[in-house]
Structure 1
């Protein structure tokens, strides 16, 4: 028996929604797409300014928090014919990295990071940076985006760093109709589970009516997270039971979710 037989699974992702839906169907489930990531928008003029500032000023450390952000800065540097200068600057500056995609990006250029988040969270990376004392008057280039950037900048400033905030891209708010549709499906508990692949999706869902949504997830709708950052955001919102796969991969998550429902049906 396929573990997801008869299960209606909401998919909050956008970029990998089709692949996730195909896997859900493979294991007998019915995927329902609610893409609430929001459209990713390049901040082109800001990117150009960021690259010029990075190359012109002495920075003691560069913090890259997303693979998308690193690639966006890279593409801007290429457009300005400053890509070799950009990579050289990173190679001569202490790097702090969060996220598997960011790690993969620096490896492409044979760069190495002094600090890497062991569990993929900013909290873990901040703990490592806190050990770098004294930090007063050290200039830090922080690549972030519109979700939590102010909080992150403040946390680094509290550690003593002089922070330059680089926001090469941002996410627009998701479509209201789609967001309302997912909220309705969760609160009315017509879904068996919802798969989240980023904390942005979680934050978008919980902008309003948090109490009703939390109640539904803590009763009959299973919150499924790809990655520790996404799972942590769900728990912050008050969801007690968050399903995570041991491997932070989408394929592994669907397989383990199928096995989970098989065990539940036996009991």
Structure 2
């Protein structure tokens, strides 16, 4: 099998950029890796002050952990203030959005409840609505971007008190050169395939394009590519941005993402070519 067969494959991966480039090359693609974001830690002083007060008063009934990165950051700073806070958290419902926050909780000696697959905010919302009563207080650890407004609205309509606590934000990379070139190349018809391992990658690509005055062109260009998503949460975020997802990896792992794209993208591209010629 030729796999990608020389197709030009764009990835917006940041933390694992080198690994992604290697995988694309392994499957016969020409890798174009343009890091699209970096995790920018926020000052948690005021948020932790309020959390400590509520914790001491017994006024936190659930803590929703949305990512492994955010969970580790939060628990590290909370434990640095007073390690006994971790003991108090053992008496609170800890809700994890998937395996990564579950693993982060375990690293601090905590046990969480993993929501049902596909581990999107919808499952977190459903779990909280099922397990909490009106008037109870849920704290949500934000993950890179603000929590979805529909989620906050539904929880509030159910009578829950909700605190959305931002732990970090996703910013543009310090070196935006590769991202700049990727946007311009995409608009000019360069790549054939886009691999997405998070919805924030697509958001940042389009935000950067907007700064260049190329938003409409960039969105149109992306929808000409074969877009492959790592999982449901990523697919949902991309769809909200007006992007069409062609394939979705399952299990939701980077190696599966690349292999799936390599196996099916050439056929999808050929089918589209025949339809246009048709």
- Normalising by structure 2, we get a TM-score of 0.82
Structure 1 counterpart of 2:95: 96
Hey, what's the Cα distance between the residues in 2 that align with 1:179 and 1:156? 37
Instruction: Spell out the pairing of 1:197-208 with structure 2 (5 A cutoff).
Output: 197-207=197-207, 208=210
Give 5+ residue unaligned stretches, structure 1: none
Give 5+ residue unaligned stretches, structure 2: 272-278
* Residues 54, 141 of structure 1: 8 Å contact kept: no
Q: Report the alpha carbon displacement of residue 210 of structure 1 after superposing the two structures with TM.
A: 4.2
Hey, what's the Cα distance between the residues in 1 that align with 2:145 and 2:177? 21
Verify: 1:45 aligned to 2:50, yes or no: no
* Residues 231, 250 of structure 2: 8 Å contact kept: no
Matched residue pairs, number? 262
Verify: 1:143 aligned to 2:147, yes or no: no
Hey, what's the Cα distance between the residues in 1 that align with 2:98 and 2:160? 21
Instruction: Spell out the pairing of 1:1-267 with structure 2 (5 A cutoff).
Output: 1-46=1-46, 48-49=48-49, 52-58=52-58, 59-80=60-81, 82-83=82-83, 85-108=84-107, 109-113=109-113, 116-132=115-131, 134-135=133-134, 137-149=135-147, 151=149, 152-174=151-173, 176-207=176-207, 208=210, 209-219=214-224, 221-261=225-265, 263=267
| Cα pair distance change 1:242/1:90, threshold 3 Å | farther
Give the SS at the match of 1:171: strand
| Cα pair distance change 1:213/1:253, threshold 3 Å | same
Hey, what's the Cα distance between the residues in 2 that align with 1:244 and 1:218? 15
* Residues 43, 170 of structure 1: 8 Å contact kept: no
| Cα pair distance change 1:63/1:110, threshold 3 Å | closer
* Residues 51, 76 of structure 1: 8 Å contact kept: no
Hey, what's the Cα distance between the residues in 2 that align with 1:40 and 1:62? 22
Q: Report the alpha carbon displacement of residue 111 of structure 1 after superposing the two structures with TM.
A: 0.8
Q: CA RMSD in A?
A: 2.6
Give the SS at the match of 1:215: helix
| Cα pair distance change 1:133/1:264, threshold 3 Å | closer
